[in-house]
Amino acid sequence: MSLPKAELHLHIEGTLEPELAFELATRNGLTLPYADTDELREAYRFEDLQSFLNLYYELMAVLRTERDFEDLANEYLERAAAQGVRHAEIFFDPQAHTSRGLELGTVVEGLWRALGDSESKHGVSTRLILCFLRDESAESALATLEAAKPYLDRITGVGLDSAEVGHPPAKFREVYEAAATLGLRRVAHAGEEGPPEYITEALDVLGVERVDHGLRCVEDPVLVERLVRERVPLTLCPLSNVRLRTVETLADHPLPAMLDAGLMCTVNSDDPAYFGGYAGDNFDAVRGTLGLSEERLRELARNSFLASFLEDDEELRAR
Ligand code: ES4
Ligand code: ZN
């Protein structure tokens, strides 16, 4: 099945497939602590978000040049297009690269080499969303936003990711205010491993327009009612939730109940190279295991365009 859809929750660094990781390591004269792609794939058994993040940050070391970021994004866009993705709002983690000595320009220019002609080459329109690492300081986030100023013509919004528990949204109030003043759109991960209160805080303190994951809202009926009333989009990532053990099995995923409650859900892939599938694979999984009707699947696809940062005319063309 290849329903036209928009991908709204995708970390570009999480699209690094083992084959490309080895190719880039070789190209950059680096040695990975894994014998081959099979051995690397063996390491993709995660206990929780942190155990995944450890590998995610470790493997990023192979990304060094503009061309590396270009190749990474091109491979993603090609795979996404093959699964019906017509529009992709792509997260990237500048601090994970600048902390290794890379220039922010290397990352943005490299990604842009692929994103710049994605519409003509892959039939996929794109937006870039700069994410702050919430387990780094608020000062580091502010410095990152400052460093991004020369590239704001290519950056649509800001997000917040990495280790959630212990790093509540309010820690980033100031940088989100600054981002809003610069005309940037705002999203944040909340309620993936963190409590429902973090979702409320992301809305009230950071002014986010969408909540990434938002899964744990189901624990708080009053919050669910608010999210329904305000039509706040949630960018759910079912296969990610299974791999990071946020839900026990896919069959236990609350997506059907969330849709029945009237929440504006979207289905996305998060870190597809690590979690076993791209956007279409996530759609197939929820259709197969959760038994969603064709009508529900069409609703999810429609929501993905409505919740996107496309302008109305672009949105109509994309779907
Ligand atoms: C992430 Cl699944 C997830 N959660 C939070 N931060 C992330 N960064 C990359 N993937
Ligand atoms: Zn994510």
| pLDDT attached to residue 152 | 98
Distance 271 CA to ligand 2 centre (A): 7
| pLDDT attached to residue 154 | 98
Strand, coil or helix: 8: strand
Answer yes or no: are the C-beta atoms of 61 and 54 closer than 8 Å.
Answer: no
| pLDDT attached to residue 311 | 87
Task: Please give the distance of CA 169 from its chain centroid, rounded to a whole number.
Answer: 17
Distance 32 CA to ligand 2 centre (A): 24
DSSP for residue 266 = E
| Beta sheet of 157-161, edge-to-edge order | 5-11, 85-92, 125-133, 157-161, 185-190, 210-213, 233-236, 264-267
**Fold of the CATH domain 5-307:** TIM Barrel (3.20.20)
Cβ of 240 closer than 6 Å to ligand 1, yes or no, is yes
| pLDDT attached to residue 2 | 84
| pLDDT per position as a tens digit, 274-290 | 999 999 999 999 999 99
Residue whose Cα lies nearest atom 6 of ligand 1: it is: 162
Beta bridge partners of 188: 211
Confidence of residue 319 (pLDDT cuts 50, 70, 90): confident
Cβ of 161 closer than 6 Å to ligand 1, yes or no, is yes
| pLDDT attached to residue 137 | 98
Beta bridge partners of 190: 213
| Spans of all domains in the chain | 5-307
Confidence of residue 109 (pLDDT cuts 50, 70, 90): very high
Compute the chain's Rg from CA coordinates: 18
- Ligand nearest the Cα of residue 50 is 1
For the chain, give the mean pLDDT: 97
